[in-house]
Structure formats: C-alpha cells, structure tokens
Amino acid sequence: MDKSKPQGRIEPYHHPAAGWGALKYVAINLIKEKVAGGNYRTLFKQNQPDGFDCPGCAWPDRKHSSTFEFCENGVKAVAAESTTKRVTPAFFEAHTIEALMKQTDYELEQHGRLTDPVVYDALTDKYKPISWNGAFALIAEELKKLSSPHQAAFYTSGRASNEAAFLYQLFVRMFGTNNFPDCSNMCHEATSRGLPMTVGIGKGTVTLDDFELADTILIFGQNPATNHPRMLGELRECSRRGATIVSINPLRERGLERFASPQHPIEMLTLSSTKIASTFIRPKVGGDFALLKGVAKRVLELDDEACERGVERVLDVDFIDAHTHGFDAFAADLRAESWPTLEAESGVPREDIEALARIYANGRRVIATWGMGLTQHKNSVATVQMLSNLMMMRGNIGREGAGLCPVRGHSNVQGNRTVGIEEKPTQEFLDRLGKVFDFEPPREHGYDVVETIEAMIEGHVKVFIGLGGNFAIATPDTPRTFDALRSCDLTVHIATKLNRSHLVHGRHALILPTLGRTEIDEQGGVAQGVTVEDSMSMVHISYGMNVPASKNLLSEVAIVANIAHATIGSDKVDWLGMANDYSRVRDAIEQTIEGFEDYNARIAHPGGFHLRVASRERDWKTGTGKANFVVNAIEHDTPIARAKKLHGERVMVLMTTRSHDQYNTTIYALDDRYRGVFGQRRVVFINRADLDMLGLKAGEWVDLTTVWDDGVDRRADSFLLVEYDIPRGCIGAYYPETNPLVPLSSVGDVCNTPTSKSIPVLLHRSAPPALAA
C-alpha cells in the first residue's frame, strides 16, 4: 500500500534532539496543513491550565505551568486536527472506495477533516450523505437484528474523553455485552494485566513531583524524543541536577543522547545541548526479561557481599518484611538461574548486567519508566513483573522520588480504562454499575482486539463500531483482518479524519464525523469541557477553542448518546439530557467509580486532581494484601527459537516502531530524522555483520516473510536495507507497513497483545521498486 518511491535519503543525524531542527519542522507542518491563522493561537494554549489537553501523548503537564510547553509532535497533532482541508460529500462523490483504496495511508490523511455523516452505497461503491438521525436509525436497526448482543464489538481508541467513554461503556453494557476491544489491548496491556498481580493496580506509582527528587531514572524500551517529547524536558532537568539516566534499548535513540530545549533560549542560541542518558544498555530485542532477572540476581549477590562485610544491606529488608509476599521463592529462583543463560537470553554481557545492577543499587530514589519496547513481546507480562520485583527489592515503590512509571500512548487511554472500557470487568464494578443504573450487566468477559478479529473470521461478530482509531491498520495480520471486517453486516467509524478502516467496510457502513479535542464543543448553548486522565493519574478538564471543522459535526458524547437513545431508548438513562450537559455525565461517573468524589468541583482547580493509586501509598490491593514477588521462568521453546531451528541464524527478529513523523497509523510526513531516514518509510534497519552473513548489502531491497507454523503466507515487500547500529539477529522497521507480518496468533502470554516487537522473519533480496513489475 504505502510504497514510497525510492527517492529518499539516508543521512545520519548529528544534532541534539528537539532544538532548531524541531522548530523548522513545526513551521513546515503549519504551512503544509494550511492551519488557519486564527488557529495558531491554539498551539499556545496546548497543555495550559485554561486550554485543552494535547491530543498527542499521555505525558502529564506541569501543574500551573505558565510557560508554553513546546513540543514538536504535539504541534503536529494539533496542526493535523486544525487543518483547513476538508473531506466533504463532494469528495466522496468524486471517489469510489476502490479508487481510494489505491491511495497510501499518508495520502488519505492529507485530505483533511471529515465534514458530514456518510453511508456506503454499494451500487456506486461510494459513500453518500445521510442525516444524523438516519445514521442512528441504521445502527439501531442492525444492532437490534442480532441474535445476541455478543455479535457486536465496540472498539475505543484512547483519545475519547472520560465522558464519551463512560457513556459508551454504559450503553454497550445495557445493550448486553462486554465486547470492548481497545487500543490498550495492543499497547500497555502487559502493564495493566501484569502489575495488578504484583502491586495491586495496573497503573504507575509516580507523579511529576517524583521526577524532581529521583536520583536514578531507568528508561526501558521507549523513544521519548519522538513519542513523548515533553518527557525530555523533565529528563533534562533531572540530568542537570546530576541524576543518573540509563536507557535500556537495543537502539541508541538519538533523543536520549542529547537534547536542546526549545524552552531554554540559551541552549538554542549557543547550539549547546544537555546530555540525557549517561549509560546505554543494549539488550537484544525481547531480551529484557533475562536482563532484568540478571540485574535482580546481581542485586541479591551484592546484598550477600554487604552482609559478609557487615555494611549497609542492599536489599530494603524492612520494606520486604513489612510489605511483600513471596520473597524467598523469588530469591531462590534467582540464585538457581545461570549466568550463561542470562547473558545468552538477554544479549547483554555479564559486565553490563552487573553495571546496571550497580547503578540501580547505588540509587536511593529510582524511577523506572517503560514503553512499547517492554510490552509487545510474548513474555511482556513476565517482564513487567520482573521490573516490579526489581523495584520492590529496594523498596522503590511508594516512596518519594521513586516508583513505577509506565508511559502510556494515547492521551486518554488510561482514563478510558478507569471509566469502564474493559472487556474483563471486575464483578464489583458490574455490581456497582448495575445498581446505579438499575439493570443487570452482562457478566461474561468480552472480546479484546485479537479475539474480536478471530470472532469476525468465525462469523460470530457481525457489527463493529469504532469510537476513534484505525482498527484495520493498527491491528495485526492485515489481509486477514481486512477479510474479517468485510464479513461484517455493519461497520461504523466515529472519526475526525479519513483512514483505511473506513474503506475496509462491512455490507452497510457509516462514517460519523466528530469534533476533535481542540474544537469548541457547545451543547445547550454552553461550551462544554471534557476530562482526561494522563499517564500519572492526573485528571483534568480540557476546553477546545477552535471553531469546529464543519457545522455538521457532533461531539463524541452526543454521537454515543444518540446511538444509545435510538437503540435501547431512554427509560433508564436520560442519554440526550446528559449529552446536553457533560457535568451530568461526570456526576454519573462519580456515583459509579471510586476516586471521583466531588468530580465537577475538583476539575475546576487548575491542573485538576490526582486520582488515588493505592500502591503509591503502599496500600496493596492484591489477594495477599501485600506486594507480591512473582516468579517467572525464562522460556526456551518460543516461536523465535522454533523458527531458528527450522532456518538457522538467517531468522531475524523484527521489531516494529514509530518514525518521528507519524502518530500511530497517521503518517504526517516521510522523515525519521533522528534515525537519519528521509523521504521514505519502507526501510529495514540491520546490523553490518548480519548483512554480511546474509550476503546482502546496504542499499539493496528485500521482501520480508514471517516464519510461523500455520501455513499462512505472510509477507511485506520492497524494503530498503539500511545499515544500522542494532544488535545482531534483530532488525527494525516501521509500523503499520509491517503489520501484514504479525500473525494474529502471535500474542503475549496473559495479556494477548500482538507481539509487534518480536516477529521471526526472513529477508529475500528483491528488485528496487522502480524496476519491479
């Protein structure tokens, strides 16, 4: 699909992250998106106490911050939403779906904002206008036709507000199912499922204030310069204070080396920069579990040595005694693990593992952050739990300046889960919801993302509704997922911009255009705010300030309320009344969910409020009432090991990541400048020694195929080989172009997350695209 012509360049980047390079790109973006003059001011209201929450990432904002928190990629996200380009009914009249399918995802994005609700017309193979009421009636009719409510699946992408997400889950549960696939299933699910077993809750335990006190910060599998640029500002301060910052990542990501802060004119004018990470530990892809186990083993050894020498213990014995369960079994397992195994499985030499253990043990206040590099593997839940174990060994949880810091993706993905977007709800949550709204909620667990696609393939799911996102492209196994979606009776997308998912549709299909977070949302003559929860559990209100992209847009809250009203009626819930006044939705959230007492009053404070995280206060909501050390073994019989048995060392482990110029499936532009890639996306990063071993050269082109055991041919063609400093046996390429390579059945244990960062693949030399037929 996204075959960019081989006109790009590969050129190493020698400047610090952010800096003048970022400013230049901001200017280019504003011009390219044709952002209307009046909307520039929006950019300066981003993440301000009286502005809107950036629709970019979930990194929190400094409370009461009065300086403009500059962020290149936040600007891109806002500019993409504030574009003056429009996708109107005339646009749809001019293009068949067949024709639009030939455009790249980048081209689809460039058409601009959706203006009117449209319905698919099979006779012409085009979308044509439909009234809002007509759209709601069609949805209600198709949902009511189903023989069971479980034949419908309701997707959420993490941009939806708490208000929209809460109404959505209430409607869906009243309709009768827990089928809530969401982007989180592909993202931090290993965190959300792994941490409750160790510390009782699947959220981080730190706030920004802790970053001011930490002396050691360990960053696992994360590329903040691109994906959480405002985090760099925080790291810069930490670094200048003398904190030790370590990046644990197969790649030496540029943004973690040096950073020039656009907030600090001196750095910009003198072309100086702040060094961020002092140490780079480079596991092979998927090697973190063994690495962490090695670090934990070494910490135990250091403690033994301290005991022998009669000096201060390395373990926090008081914490372990008072607050934890299962330490002895955990320690015994560590002692039994062999160093050669740990080295081989992590890809990290023993001296580096020991160095990391020393840094960790020297830290008095340690924060561990992590991203997709830890969560998209087969053993991700075990890895997150091992990280939690390690932090517990020295009492680094629930202490000032220390703690667990999963860094989420979408700006409200954490809030969505908090307010009930959860296919495996607890019985207590359902009891409460049923009591407040006087109904009997469905008790059985629903489908997650992978299960939804499987259920479509088996004919069990016939209606798909997406509250945002790009389900067809963000998910694995693209051709099979396309078939699955096309087998549906109805597909509905509530969206701001055109994307591939709208083109891969069911027998009936609707696109329902909605307001973005930057836009004024007026209901009942009053501008409404919506609330979101960031990665550090701060809940705050966000007011849009741009004039909506079209007069015919409805808010997400209004769309959800109308679908509910048309489908199940308003006997029990005054859907339309709630949509007319969002504070009533917040009252309903307050009645249902713990921690939202005085919701409407508390969001009136600048910066909002912190939603209580029990583990932060060393209140352990686990079965044992303590924080649990969890023992997991290193697995040897993995799909990658099996692939290597078949094909030997030619099997490469593929990790799929984001480039600098994309927001998930939304491609803003074709550069990844910190990694030195310009004007193209179909590249494979590969080690020099592996090129030699495979008899290939940088600059040649390859096709990729997956080694999997189900007989399905999975391939992605035409990638340029780029020699890169990446561990042997590992390659990197961009998502979503590589999703056809991810088998639907390749998922993380327990969390069922597609293993987007460990796919066994083979490389096959191919002709340059221009010469290929």
Ligand X SMILES: Nc1nc2c(c(=O)[nH]1)N[C@H]1C(S)=C(S)[C@@H](COP(=O)(O)OP(=O)(O)OC[C@H]3O[C@@H](n4cnc5c(=O)[nH]c(N)nc54)[C@H](O)[C@@H]3O)O[C@H]1N2
CB under 8 Å to 353, separation ≥6 — which residues? 291, 294, 295, 298, 342, 343, 346
* Partners of 667 in beta bridges: 662
Interacting positions 154-173 with ligand X (CB under 6 A):
157, 159
Minimum distance from residue 284 beta carbon to ligand X (Å):
7
Interacting positions 85-144 with ligand X (CB under 6 A):
none
Of the pair 194, 409, the CB lying nearest Mo ion is at 409
Minimum distance from residue 436 beta carbon to ligand X (Å):
26
Environment class of residue 367 by beta-carbon count within 10 Å: exposed (0-12), middle (13-18) or buried (19+)? buried
Compute CA distances 29 → 17, 78, 81, 661, 745, whole Å. 18, 10, 12, 10, 39
- Looking only at the bridges linking them, the beta strands covering 526-527 and 666-667 are unpaired
* Residue of 118, 187, 302, 490 interacting with Mo ion (CB under 5 A): 187
Minimum distance from residue 759 beta carbon to ligand X (Å):
8
**By the rule CB under 6 A, 673 interacts with ligand X:** no
Which residue carries 């390219």 as its tokens?
Answer: 32
**By the rule CB under 5 A, 221 interacts with Mo ion:** no
Of the pair 234, 288, the CB lying nearest ligand X is at 288
Q: Which stretch binds Mo ion (CB under 5 A): 253-261, 309-317, 321-329, 409-417?
A: 409-417
Q: Yes or no: say if 199 and 620 are a contact pair by the CB < 8 Å rule.
A: yes
Question: Whole-angstrom distance between the N-terminal and C-terminal Cα of the chain?
Answer: 15
Of the pair 226, 528, the CB lying nearest ligand X is at 226
d(CA 171, CA 161): 15
**By the rule CB under 6 A, 738 interacts with ligand X:** yes
Minimum distance from residue 370 beta carbon to ligand X (Å):
8
Neighbours of 764 (CB within 10 A): 14
Minimum distance from residue 422 beta carbon to ligand X (Å):
16
Contacts for 128-131: CB closer than 8 Å, 24+ residues apart: 128/89, 128/92, 128/93, 129/89, 130/510
What is the 8-class DSSP label of residue 620? -
- Looking only at the bridges linking them, the beta strands covering 113-114 and 508-513 are unpaired
d(CA 73, CA 56): 7
* Residue of 662, 718, 746, 755 interacting with ligand X (CB under 6 A): 662
Minimum distance from residue 148 beta carbon to ligand X (Å):
25
User: If you write DSSP's letter for every residue of 447-486 in order, what string do you get?
Assistant: --HHHHHHHHHTT---EEEEESS-HHHHSSSHHHHHHHHH
Lay out the site mask for ligand X across 264-303 (x = CB under 6 A, - = otherwise). -------------------x-xx-x---------------
Q: Yes or no: say if 276 and 245 are a contact pair by the CB < 8 Å rule.
A: yes
**By the rule CB under 6 A, 735 interacts with ligand X:** yes
Residue 484, binding choice from ligand X, Mo ion, none, Cβ under 5 to 8 Å by partner class: none
Minimum distance from residue 183 beta carbon to Mo ion (Å):
6
Minimum distance from residue 660 beta carbon to ligand X (Å):
7
Interacting positions 50-79 with ligand X (CB under 6 A):
55-57, 73
Minimum distance from residue 493 beta carbon to ligand X (Å):
7
Residue 756, binding choice from ligand X, Mo ion, none, Cβ under 5 to 8 Å by partner class: ligand X
Of the pair 184, 628, the CB lying nearest ligand X is at 184
Q: Which stretch binds Mo ion (CB under 5 A): 51-59, 184-192, 259-267, 317-325?
A: 184-192
For residue 301 the two structure tokens come to 């050894």
Helix then strand count (H, E) for the chain reads 32, 33
Minimum distance from residue 409 beta carbon to Mo ion (Å):
3
Of the pair 225, 315, the CB lying nearest ligand X is at 225
Q: Which stretch binds Mo ion (CB under 5 A): 183-191, 473-481, 518-526, 618-626?
A: 183-191
- Could you check whether the bond before residue 740 is cis, i.e. omega within 30 degrees of 0? no
**By the rule CB under 6 A, 756 interacts with ligand X:** yes
**By the rule CB under 6 A, 658 interacts with ligand X:** yes
How many residues at the interface with Mo ion, by CB under 5 A?
2
Using H for helix, E for strand and C for coil, what is the string for 628-675?
Answer: ECCCCCCCCCCHHHHHHHHHHHHCEEEEEECCCCEECCEECCCCEHHH
Lay out the site mask for ligand X across 440-469 (x = CB under 6 A, - = otherwise). ---------------------------xxx
**By the rule CB under 6 A, 410 interacts with ligand X:** yes
CA dihedral 338, 344, 350, 352 (to 10 degrees): -140
Compute CA distances 571 → 438, 574, 576, whole Å. 11, 7, 12
* Residue of 179, 567, 592, 656 interacting with ligand X (CB under 6 A): 656
Minimum distance from residue 58 beta carbon to Mo ion (Å):
9
Compute CA distances 260 → 29, 180, 263, whole Å. 20, 41, 9
What amino acid occupies position 670? L
* Residue of 143, 235, 248, 669 interacting with ligand X (CB under 6 A): 248
Of the pair 471, 609, the CB lying nearest ligand X is at 471
Residue 494, binding choice from ligand X, Mo ion, none, Cβ under 5 to 8 Å by partner class: ligand X
Compute CA distances 425 → 173, 463, 565, whole Å. 11, 21, 24
Of the pair 404, 407, the CB lying nearest Mo ion is at 407
**By the rule CB under 6 A, 19 interacts with ligand X:** no
Residue 157, binding choice from Mo ion, ligand X, none, Cβ under 5 to 8 Å by partner class: ligand X
Residue 656, binding choice from Mo ion, ligand X, none, Cβ under 5 to 8 Å by partner class: ligand X
For residue 513 the two structure tokens come to 């255009």
d(CA 460, CA 691): 45
Minimum distance from residue 488 beta carbon to ligand X (Å):
17
Of the pair 314, 564, the CB lying nearest ligand X is at 564
Of the pair 229, 442, the CB lying nearest ligand X is at 229
Strand, coil or helix: 46: strand
Angle among Cα 272, 273, 277 to the nearest 5 degrees reads 155
d(CA 181, CA 446): 8
CB under 8 Å to 285, separation ≥6 — which residues? 250, 653, 654, 655, 727, 730, 757, 758
* Residue of 224, 409, 529, 639 interacting with Mo ion (CB under 5 A): 409
**By the rule CB under 6 A, 474 interacts with ligand X:** yes
Residue 310 — left, alpha, or beta (φ > 0 → left; ψ -120 to 50 → alpha)? left
Helix axis angle, 288-309 to 380-393, nearest 10°: 20
Of the pair 591, 745, the CB lying nearest ligand X is at 745
Residue 365, binding choice from ligand X, Mo ion, none, Cβ under 5 to 8 Å by partner class: none
Interacting positions 197-226 with ligand X (CB under 6 A):
220-223, 226
**By the rule CB under 6 A, 670 interacts with ligand X:** no
CA dihedral 582, 170, 750, 663 (to 10 degrees): -40
**By the rule CB under 6 A, 748 interacts with ligand X:** no
Residue 615, binding choice from Mo ion, ligand X, none, Cβ under 5 to 8 Å by partner class: none
Q: Which stretch binds ligand X (CB under 6 A): 345-353, 440-448, 620-628, 655-663?
A: 655-663
Minimum distance from residue 754 beta carbon to ligand X (Å):
6
Of the pair 71, 314, the CB lying nearest ligand X is at 71
Interaction site with Mo ion (CB under 5 A)? 187, 409
Interaction site with ligand X (CB under 6 A)? 55-57, 73, 157, 159, 183, 186-187, 220-223, 226-228, 248-251, 253, 283, 285-286, 288, 371-373, 376, 409-410, 467-471, 474, 494-497, 499, 514, 516-517, 556, 655-658, 662-666, 735-736, 738-739, 742, 756-757
